[in-house]
A and B are shown apart, each in its own frame.
Chain A
Amino acid sequence: MFKWKKLGKVFDPTTVVGKSWLHEYAQAPATLIFDDFVRVYFSCRPPRDENGQFTSRSAYVDLDRKDLFRVLRVADRPILELGKRGCFDEFGTYPVSVIRVANEVWAYYAGWARPASVPFNTAIGFAKSSDNGVTFQKLGDGPILSFSPDEPFILSGPKIRKFNDKYHLFYIAGQKWVMVDGQPEISHKIRVATSDDGLNWTKYGKNLIPNYWGENESQASPDVFYANGKYHMFFCGWQPETFRKTKHRTIGYASSSDLVNWIRDDNKVGISVSKGEVFDNQMLAYPHVFELDGKIYMLYLGNEVGRYGFGLAELEGELR
């Protein structure tokens, strides 16, 4: 089993003032490392609208590289505009994953639309930044990864990585809407697509991670990190049938030598909910693993899927 030492909550979005679009939630952290600071992208929400619905935006917080609990600055404005009327990202851009490509930063994000029969639908969009990730410009109004015969809805949770000179986009694809107490709850699974240029993608077309709790379990945030000769994936999962009642999500783990065949072993994950009156005593979600100055860290969400922010843990030992 890995051993993660929890260091505490890094960022609480509810303490930010003066930004109407950043009221609460700091979801799906993703890092971009600079010489003096670590930029952590996250997705947040303004208060609910007149229909009681949220519109997710994405932004960043810069943390002092020498002391990750020292917030240097929060983004002045969201990094991405919402989509035009009728577009896939009209009602939200969440989550975001970034990668440096030459002098640019490329972002892959899920865009949110509102169908009539189900609460949301998502597809994966693409944008570029030429100002070190402060603002991003979309390449087009439509998604870069969208629905196909065996991926009928909900493409989300992109995580962009480059391994062996090939871009890998880990993401989730909806399997079915499960009716729970009369409400549709989504079941989605982790998948991967590959690309030579980051724009034209080939879907692998299979679920990567075996189920652990049941056929309908939802898997999300497939965060892949290479260390010691193999690929390590930390992700999160929950059961759509009971999630609204239990408020429970947890972090899972799988490893692979080839990026498509994965062995799931949640017993190794080595991090779980805390005890006591703390921000992560109900759930852990949306893990993101990164390396900084010789140490390996995990950012993760606490209760209510990061409504009150994300925390940091440090690996003791190695990822093997």
Chain B
Amino acid sequence: MKWQKLGQIFEFSNSPFTERFVSHVQSPQALVLADRIRIYFSTRKTDETGKFLSHVQYVDYDFEFKCIIGYSERQVMPLGKIGCFDEHGIFPLSPVRVGSKVYGYTNGISRRTSVDVESGIGFATSDDDGVTFQKFGDGPLLSASLNEPFLVGDAFVREFGGQFHMFYLFGKKWSEATAEHAAERVYKIAHATSNDGITNWHRESKFIIPDKVDENECQALPTVIKIGNRYHMYFCYRHMVGFRNERGKGYRLGYAYSDDLVHWERDDENGGITLSESDWDSEMMCYPNVFACRDNIYLLYNGNHFGKEGFGIARLESEK
């Protein structure tokens, strides 16, 4: 694969969101509409205790990504009620067009006391091209199960061959806290299928992408696109410890391919996109989202500091 980086196209500090939010535009995910490309992301407010709450917003681009032609001025969807799986944040929202509706799969976040957070996959639908979403109940579509004990999240859903395929992640373990670090989580990518994208998810409850770092590698935000007869997956991966500020341990983009959606060959060397020498994505690349639009294939992603400042985009030059 060969990508041409088009640069950081969206900066929080130069955006209309600075009045209502404090920072971050994380996990950009595209919904291609008739006259625009709508890009969802999660941005942050602080609550009364100073802790962050992630909220979904969007910005609309023309097909050249030259101009912002619209943005969300109101709430796209509310956070959960007290005690619900998504009361402390929705990050990210992953949209997919299904008929006249837009399905939105959310990663809901709630805080815990013995560990930082727990998460679950929520579901919402939109009848207005994704301006607003209505939640499918107060609870999650998928959450912890017998062999997926915690941190179920980051769903990416596409219909392939008449079936809905979900790529998501679930937690493998929470490490014990040490003198050097707090309890850290380890999570990896998994796969589930459903006939309608909503009910009766068949979960294999196993990790599908081999580790590259070590057994504690954390893998997040899978995104899959079919080109020809081959499925290509991008995701981000990092070390369990030191990923926030140690060079070489933070998020980078991983790549895998498959011809049957079941067996995946990890092939980061041929992913075709790596850290820049300098610039906004020189220390970290994370939260990829691949999509097709007008004969081109694009890759949205965040750079340094987990997308605190902005997001950027690359265009596929060659799939060889």
Chain B residues positioned under 8 Å from A86 (CB to CB)? 112, 114-115, 118, 149-151, 171, 173-174, 183, 185
B146 adjacent to chain A (CB < 8 Å)? yes
Complex interface: stretch among B5-13, B76-84, B220-228, B269-277? B76-84
B57 at the interface (CB under 8 A from A): no
Is the pair A115, B111 in contact by a Cβ cutoff of 8 Å?
Answer: yes
Query: Which residues of the other chain, B, contact A184 by a CB distance below 8 angstroms?
Result: 82-83
Contact flag A140-B149 (CB < 8 Å), given A148-B139, A149-B137, A149-B138:
yes
Among the stretches A117-125, A206-214, A297-305, the one at the interface with B is: A117-125
A179 to nearest B CB, angstroms? Answer: 8
Question: How many chain B residues have a CB neighbour from A under 8 Å?
Answer: 39
Interface size class of A (residues with CB under 8 A): 35 or more
**Distance between A81 CB and nearest chain B CB, rounded to angstroms:** 14
Are B110 and A152 neighbours in the complex by a CB distance under 8 Å? no
Interface residues of A in 179-232 (CB under 8 A from B): 184, 186, 199
Name the A residues within 8 Å of B176 (CB-CB).
Answer: 85
Q: Does A116 contact B (CB under 8 A)?
A: yes
Q: A142-B145, A150-B137 are in contact. Are A85 and B110 (CB under 8 A)?
A: no
By the criterion CB–CB under 8 Å, are A149 and B115 in contact?
Answer: no
Q: Which B residue sits closest to A178, measured CB to CB? A: B82
Cα–Cα distance between A91 and B139 once the two chains are bound (Å): 22
Binary CB contact string for chain B from 134 to 146 against chain A (1 if under 8 A, 0 otherwise): 0011111101111
Given the interface contacts A142-B150, A149-B141, does A114 sit within 8 Å of B114 by beta carbon? Answer: yes
Cross-interface CB contact of B87 among A83, A117, A143, cutoff 8 Å: A117
Q: Are A88 and B149 interface neighbours, CB within 8 A?
A: yes
Nearest A residue to B80 by beta-carbon distance? A152
A152 near B137 with CB under 8 A, answer yes
At the interface, yes or no: B148 with Cβ under 8 Å from chain A? yes
- Asked if A167 lies at the interface with its beta carbon under 8 angstroms from chain B, I say no
Instruction: Check if A142 sits within 8 Å of B85, measured CB to CB.
Output: no
Q: Is the CB of B147 within 8 A of A116?
A: no
Residues of B near A186 (CB, < 8 A) are 83
* A115-B111, A115-B112, A116-B111 known; A142 vs B84 contact (CB < 8 Å): no
Q: Are A123 and B144 in contact (CB under 8 A)?
A: yes
Scan B172-186; emit 1 where CB is below 8 A from any A CB, else 0: 011110000001010
Smallest Cβ distance from A207 to chain B, in angstroms? 14
Contacts of B111 in A (CB 8 A): 115-117
Flag if A146 contacts B149 (CB, 8 Å).
no
Contact of A84 with B by CB under 8 A: yes
Complex CA gap A150/B253 in Å reads: 36
- The verdict on A139 contacting chain B, using a C-beta distance below 8 Å, is yes
Q: Is B311 an interface residue (CB 8 A)?
A: no
Q: Which residues of A contact B85 (CB under 8 A)?
A: 147, 152-153
What's the nearest-Cβ distance from chain A to residue B100, in Å?
21
Q: Does B123 contact A (CB under 8 A)?
A: yes
> Counting CB contacts under 8 A, is A144 at the interface?
yes
Most buried by A among B83, B110, B148, B149: B83
A149, B110: Cβ atoms under 8 Å?
no
- B296: CB under 8 A from chain A? no
Cα distance A91–B112 in the bound complex, in angstroms: 12
Complex Cα distance, B118 from A113, in Å, reads 10
Q: Which residue of B lies closest to A117 (CB)?
A: B82
A117 to B109, CA, bound (A): 12
**Distance from A180 Cβ to chain B, minimum over Cβ atoms (Å):** 13
Query: In the complex, which of the residues A143, A151, A176 contacts B145, with contact meaning CB atoms closer than 8 Å?
Result: A143
A residues less than 8 Å from B88 (CB atoms): 116-117
* A141: interface (CB < 8 Å): yes
Of chain B, the residue at the smallest CB distance from A86 is B174
Residues in chain B near residue A149, CB distance under 8 A: 123, 136-141
CB distance from A142 to the nearest CB of B (A): 4
Give the nearest-CB partner of A149 in chain B. B137
- A90 within 8 Å of B (CB atoms): yes
Known: A85-B176, A118-B83. A147 touches B114 (CB 8 A): no
> At the interface, yes or no: A315 with Cβ under 8 Å from chain B?
no
A–B pairs, 7, beta carbons within 8 Å:
A86-B115, A118-B82, A146-B145, A147-B143, A148-B141, A153-B84, A177-B82
- Give 6 nearest A-B pairs by CB, closest first: A149-B137, A152-B139, A116-B111, A140-B146, A141-B149, A86-B174
List residues of B whose CB falls within 8 A of some A CB. 80-85, 87-88, 110-115, 118, 120, 123, 136-141, 143-151, 171, 173-176, 183, 185
